[in-house]
Amino acid sequence: MKNLFFLVLCTLICSVARCDEAWSSAGNFDGSELSTESFLLLPTDPLPYSSFLADGTPVSLTIMAVNSVDSSKTAEIFSDNSGTAVEGIATWDYTDSDLPKNDAYTITQTVVSSSETKSFSRSVTILPEPAFFALLAVAGLLFPRKRRKILLSISAIAALSSLGAKADVVSDVNFRQMLPFTRNVIITYTMTPAENTVYDIKFYGSIDDGATSFDLEERGTLRISSLDETFYSAGAHRAEWTPDESFYDTATDKFKVKVEAKEITVDKYMVIDLSGGTGAASYPVIYLGDVPTGGWTEEYKTTKMVLRKVEAGTFSMGSASDELGREWYEKQHLVTLTESFYACIFEVTQKQYELVMGSNPSQYKGDARPVEKVSYNMLRGENKGTGWPANNDVDETSFFGVLRAKTNLTCDLPTEAQWEFACRAGTTTALNSGKNLSNKNECEEMAEVGRYYYNKSDGKGGFGDHTTVGSYLPNAWGLYDMHGNIRELCLDWRNSAYDDGPAVDPRGPSSANNRVVRGGSCSSYAYQCRSARRDSVIPTAGFYNVGFRVFIIK
């Protein structure tokens, strides 16, 4: 027996406070390099396990003890084959077994995941007799430094103890060093983020009870278990820290971990999760600061709805007098929109509509293609929904009635002015790419930004009429298909011409026969898809080339 090592389990729990940064309570930490020397094991000594130590989806975890002299003498201390991530503390009560006492064993923790197998082992000598407690106590008094440097603790379980201005953001900060198998430290914490808020999460450590601190990422390797390191959902989270070589001579019982959640003002994109379908009591809404890694994948065109924030502003509505394809009723005039709003980056797709309403009225089917054959009255309702511009009420059973109820947001069609402002994205040209038309009918500039009559055979989306949303270039604000694919319904009644002079938040005429549609379609010529182009349909009829996108005032 080379050394006498004593294992101590520390479970200190401090009172919980609410804060956007939180320290764990102090506990033991040993940063020394793991040796192959044996340590003493008592029947009550804890052994930590964690399937998180391997990458990929955990499939099994086993802790085995094998006699160093006779490998046929083995014992299984712990196993889990559930296929789910697990961690905790195991003990091996060998006093009831027929294994040789006062003998050497190798204890091995093996984690098998979908991508790799990791195995950690240490030599131990088991101590079944209570008399050895006294021996270890004497050893600890005689060799205090050695006692600190060896395996003083398996676990220090604590809760946060600092106060802050923001309630319930970070809580239950705990750490556990995975000795005797590895030097790694497992950090767990709970997030309760404020609504519509995202956070930048930082991790700090201290070896002197918080008097000084250091960034864990600068003093080792930190792995965070989160799909998005800036957006944190409510619930439990974890991280794993491997100390670097600078800790090889460090042993302390005053180690602490701090988790800091710094609020970031991010609301560039709103994402509505429709995956619950008609049976969902509500549709969750989150906010993103930028396009996610991997871009707007299929789920954002089917089970999730993405809207981009458009800041309020003033623009020139209508077309210049020399614009190719211009109509007389597109009189150019200044319009000011005083409220910011969110606009769908894609036309509402058939899958999205079906998840909200339980049916798909489209003539040309495809989950990620725009929903069509929807009328103004279908979307807003045939009763209260017909009241615009006197009010913005909708029928409870209409598309917008259901979406409003399940998001608690004012979802609606755009006004004609909002639609053109969003389409232009700061441009004054015929197309939102910043280009004008080179030909009224077949036009290469139009072919870049949307599906229209002359590019239905280009193969984008694989269809010979309207096609998968997002198949062409977006505008400067990241909105797709504002030109072509399908015409898009607006709130306003269609009048013959705009009112004279500048306008502020225009709502269109008080009455007329038809409602405005904008943007052109797969059956339109290039000039019919321009930013300023105005068309109309009767509010009770649905057509294969007419759909819509959701706008939200917030």
- Mean pLDDT in residue range 246-259: 90
* 339: three-class secondary structure by DSSP: coil
- Give pLDDT, residue 163: 31
Does residue 42 surpass a pLDDT of 70? yes
What does the DSSP assignment read for 259-309? Answer: EEEEEE---SEEEEE-TTGGG-S---EEEESSPPTT-S-THHHHTEEEEEE
Q: Tell me which residue of 354, 364, 310, 359 sits closest to 479, measured CA to CA.
A: 310
- Give pLDDT, residue 144: 39
Q: Could you report the per-residue pLDDT of 346-383, keeping only the tens digit for each?
A: 999 999 999 999 999 999 999 999 999 999 999 999 99
Q: Could you report the per-residue pLDDT of 485-503, keeping only the tens digit for each?
A: 999 999 999 988 887 789 9
- Give pLDDT, residue 514: 97
What is the C-alpha separation between 435 and 429, in angstroms, rounded? 6
Poorest-pLDDT segment among 129-138, 208-217, 256-265, 439-448:
129-138
Does residue 398 surpass a pLDDT of 90? yes
What does each C-alpha distance from 473 to 27, 308, 422 come to in angstroms? 56, 16, 15
Q: Which residue has the tokens 């069509």?
A: 372
As a whole-number percent, the residues of the chain with pLDDT over 70 amount to 86
- Give pLDDT, residue 225: 62
What is the C-alpha separation between 318 and 204, in angstroms, rounded? 56
Half-sphere exposure of 164 (CA within 13 A, CB side): 21
Domain range summary for the chain, segments of one domain joined by +: 1-264, 269-553
What is 269-553's CATH number? 3.90.1580.10
- Mean pLDDT in residue range 439-460: 96
What is the C-alpha separation between 91 and 476, in angstroms, rounded? 61
Are 411 and 405 contacting, i.e. CB atoms less than 8 angstroms apart?
Answer: no
Q: Tell me which residue of 442, 423, 426, 398 sits closest to 481, measured CA to CA.
A: 423
Does residue 228 surpass a pLDDT of 50? no
What is the C-alpha separation between 181 and 196, in angstroms, rounded? 41
Question: What mean pLDDT is reported for the chain?
Answer: 85
Banded model confidence at residue 35, pLDDT cuts 50, 70, 90: low
Structure tokens at 186: 């497992």
- Give pLDDT, residue 319: 96
The model carries a pTM of: 0.59
Does residue 518 surpass a pLDDT of 90? yes
What is the C-alpha separation between 357 and 344, in angstroms, rounded? 18
Angle, nearest 10°, between helix axes 350-357 and 399-407?
Answer: 80
